A and B are shown apart, each in its own frame.
Chain A
Amino acid sequence: MRIRLTSVFVDDQAKALHFYTEILGFVKKHDVPVGETDRWLTVVSPEDPGGTELLLEPVGHPAARTYRDTLVLDGIPLAQFAVDDVNAEYERLQGLGVRFIQEPLEMGPVTTAVFDDTCGNLIQIATQPE
């Protein structure tokens, strides 16, 4: 068994595609129309194009909004991405106007930071030793 796909609920798929590719630097993998307005929209890391895909899933269900909003209020991220250097990513993303709600924090071997993906979610980036 392998993890090939994981997902985040997004307010607006077009806006999410922009943020996850132009700002974060992922690349589009699949973009297939589903129904009237939705798309099967996934991105992957350019460092691992055959790796786990992230599905940018429309937040259609009201319960999903409640779930996300409640987590955001308490600052809880919905996904974590690995980076080589949290501090460098923090500087880069801040320069692109990304809003961080937790600045880089070193906790033992792990350093993390949390930002807003502009599509309704908080995302954590982390650097940890292999």
Chain B
Amino acid sequence: MADDLFKALADPTRRTILDELTERSGQTLFEICSRLSMKHQLGISRQAVSQHLAVLEAAGLVEVRREGRYKFHDLNTAPLRQISERWPLPDPPGPEESTP
């Protein structure tokens, strides 16, 4: 599971897909392709985008939802928790006055 997660995050195009799904979750394949080509000037085929989505889905970062005749891709950031559980984040610095 962890290997799937790190593999999914290792690719810049897949990170861009996650950025776009962060902006709006629940996109069709067409919308994701449009965003990659029009906003990011990524010349990438629909088949290649599908393969990237399959890798993200295997890592649990993207969930595919069938709704009637349509298929939407939702973002799920829950698997990212594994990272901070394995390598905990430093405590956020508190306000000055409350520091003992």
Contact surface of A with B, Cβ cutoff 8 Å: 69, 72-77, 101-103, 105, 107-108, 110, 112, 114, 116
Q: Complex formed: what's the CA distance from A116 to B67 in Å? A: 13
B69 pairs with A103, CB closer than 8 A: no
A-B contact count (CB 8 A): 46
Q: Complex formed: what's the CA distance from A69 to B69 in Å? A: 7
A75 pairs with B71, CB closer than 8 A: yes
Report the minimum CB–CB distance from B96 to chain A (whole Å): 42
Q: Complex formed: what's the CA distance from A103 to B34 in Å? A: 13
> Beyond A102-B28, A107-B38, A110-B38, is A74–B69 a contact (Cβ under 8 Å)?
no
Identify which of A76, A103, A107 contacts B30 (C-beta below 8 A): A76
> Beyond A101-B28, A102-B28, A102-B30, is A74–B71 a contact (Cβ under 8 Å)?
yes
Q: Complex formed: what's the CA distance from A110 to B39 in Å? A: 10
Q: B15 on the interface (CB 8 Å rule)?
A: no
